[in-house]
């Protein structure tokens, strides 16, 4: 049919799905009408009959849409432009699958969380996403510097990948300035704060996670990634796929920590011996906010518990090499040539340290 302003206005919406009306004036140009009545100008071209959206009727005029279609067809015919029809969701799915095949599960989980949580562009073509769109989303998380910087790095990695894949001709982050480097926190909880957090944590799933972080000093992702096979009678053995430095890490399991890790509610939430995998706990932010209110302690993060653990051990006389072993640090006392030749596991010393730390926590929470 010959498309005119009047004929486009008169087009009826289908009862279900979408319907396309082609223009007699310009081959490949037409209008797509959805069941909701939305009308969009489209262009279909190339041997694979690739279809791309030019603009919505009412926002873009028929005259301007037809002119844009002519321009694009000329560019495609002359070989000056390669059409990109991959949507954000399609490209993201492909990228995350590649990350999953090459990186650690926790890295894949981090990338997936950041890219799906803060950048939701759905079926928008990757090539249609502008720098100001990305900046707008990044600015929303500027108040959390660590997350802001991490999201920027992950987003940049994804778009560089998309550029290498020829899904975009120009990387929209090419001239975007990175956030200021995050300054590591120095927050260490006092004994009184630790006591109030422990008591307020209770026996909920989140509360048990917090208590295990206090007692073991391990990272949040490591505790939430536990499976039944990692928990022994008196040790926790974290596989290399779960640790940050890609080294297997075995630590003593104290009496208090074991009583928490073996509770039915915790095993159901965290430990899946039959499946051999974990379902990530969801809802950290709201649970943490409620814990802050109940405990009366604010301005702290779950990772601050790891720093508090290390500082607390030092305060009760545990030596630095033992603390570093418990934290699975390969720098400091075990860097360089020492790390190559020193193979003693410090398990007796770590077990003594954990016992003394649990006694310290027990005394705090009993007083």
For residue 238, the cross-strand partners are 249
> Among the CATH numbers 3.90.1150.10, 3.40.50.300, 3.30.360.10, 3.30.160.390, which is that of 5-78?
3.30.160.390
Residue 233, pLDDT above cutoff 50: yes
Task: Please report, rounded to a whole number, the percentage of residues in the chain having pLDDT higher than 90.
Answer: 48
Residue 337, pLDDT above cutoff 60: no
3-state class of 236 per DSSP? strand
pLDDT of residue 363: 93
Residue 154, pLDDT above cutoff 90: yes
**What is the distance of C-alpha 201 from the center of its chain?**
25
Taking the C-alpha atoms of residue 273 and residue 266, their distance in angstroms, rounded to an integer, is: 12
- Domain 191-366: give its CATH superfamily: Intergrase catalytic core (1.10.443.10)
Q: Are 304 and 188 in contact (CB under 8 A)?
A: yes
Higher pLDDT residue, 84 or 135? 135
Pair type for strands 50-56 and 235-238: unpaired
- The average confidence (pLDDT) of the chain is 85
pLDDT of residue 139: 93
The helix (H) or strand (E) run that includes residue 21 is: strand 18-22
Taking the C-alpha atoms of residue 213 and residue 67, their distance in angstroms, rounded to an integer, is: 62
pLDDT band, very low/low/confident/very high, at 182 (cuts 50, 70, 90)? low
Q: Are 303 and 315 in contact (CB under 8 A)?
A: no
Taking the C-alpha atoms of residue 308 and residue 320, their distance in angstroms, rounded to an integer, is: 14
Residue 44, φ and ψ in degrees, nearest 5: -115, 130
Instruction: Provide the token pair at 205.
Output: 């799933």
| CB within 8 Å of 201: residues ≥ 6 apart | 207, 208, 210, 211, 291, 295
Instruction: Give whichever of 104-113, 174-183, 248-257 has the largest mean pLDDT.
Output: 248-257
Give rounded-to-5 percent helix, strand, coil for the chain: 50, 10, 40
> What sign has the CA pseudo-torsion 293, 294, 297, 299?
negative
pLDDT band, very low/low/confident/very high, at 268 (cuts 50, 70, 90)? low
Residue 264, pLDDT above cutoff 70: no
Residue 306, pLDDT above cutoff 90: yes
Higher pLDDT residue, 24 or 269? 24
Residue 143, pLDDT above cutoff 90: no
pLDDT of residue 271: 45
Q: Which of 81, 83, 84, 103 is nearest to 157 (CA)?
A: 103
Write down the residue that tokens 């002119």 correspond to.
67
Write down the residue that tokens 């008196």 correspond to.
234
Average pLDDT over residues 143-155: 89
pLDDT of residue 332: 52
pLDDT of residue 58: 86
25-29, 326-330, 341-345: which range is least confident on average? 341-345
pLDDT of residue 338: 44
The model's pLDDT over 308-319, given as tens digits with 9 standing for 90+, comes to: 999 999 999 999
The model's pLDDT over 16-33, given as tens digits with 9 standing for 90+, comes to: 888 999 999 999 999 999
Residue 51, φ and ψ in degrees, nearest 5: -120, 130
Instruction: Provide the token pair at 360.
Output: 């310290």
């Amino acid at each position: 049919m010959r498309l005119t302003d009047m004929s486009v206005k008169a087009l009826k919406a289908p009862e279900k799905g979408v319907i396309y009306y082609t223009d007699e004036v310009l081959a490949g140009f037409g209008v797509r009408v959805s069941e909701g009545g939305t009308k969009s100008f489209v262009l279909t071209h190339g041997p694979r009959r690739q279809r791309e959206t030019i603009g919505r009727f009412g926002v873009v005029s028929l005259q301007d849409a037809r002119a844009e279609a002519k321009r694009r067809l000329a560019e495609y015919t002359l070989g000056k432009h390669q059409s990109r029809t991959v949507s954000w969701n399609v490209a993201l799915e492909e990228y995350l699958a590649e990350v999953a095949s090459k990186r650690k599960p926790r890295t894949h989980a981090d990338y997936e969380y950041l890219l799906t949580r803060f950048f939701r562009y759905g079926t928008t073509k990757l090539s249609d996403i502008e720098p100001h769109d990305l900046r707008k989303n990044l600015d929303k998380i500027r108040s959390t510097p660590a997350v802001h910087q991490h999201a920027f790095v992950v987003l940049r990695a994804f778009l560089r990948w998309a550029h290498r894949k020829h899904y975009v001709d120009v990387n929209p982050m090419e001239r975007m300035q990175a956030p200021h480097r995050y300054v590591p926190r120095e927050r260490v909880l006092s004994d009184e704060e630790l006591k109030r957090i422990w008591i307020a944590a209770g026996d909920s799933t989140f509360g048990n996670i917090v208590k295990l972080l206090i007692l073991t000093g391990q990272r949040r992702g490591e505790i939430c990634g536990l499976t039944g096979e990692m928990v022994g009678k008196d040790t926790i053995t974290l596989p290399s796929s779960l640790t940050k430095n890609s080294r297997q890490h075995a630590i003593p399991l104290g009496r208090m920590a074991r009583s928490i890790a073996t509770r039915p509610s915790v095993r159901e939430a965290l430990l899946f011996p039959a499946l051999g995998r974990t379902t990530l706990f969801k809802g950290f932010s709201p649970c943490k906010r409620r814990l802050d209110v109940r405990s009366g302690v604010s301005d702290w993060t779950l990772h601050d518990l790891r720093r508090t653990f290390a500082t607390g051990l030092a305060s009760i006389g545990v030596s630095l090499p033992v603390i570093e072993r418990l934290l699975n640090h390969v720098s400091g006392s075990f860097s360089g040539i020492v790390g190559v030749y020193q193979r003693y596991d410090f398990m007796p010393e770590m077990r003594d340290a954990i016992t003394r730390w649990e006694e310290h926590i027990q005394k705090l929470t009993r007083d």
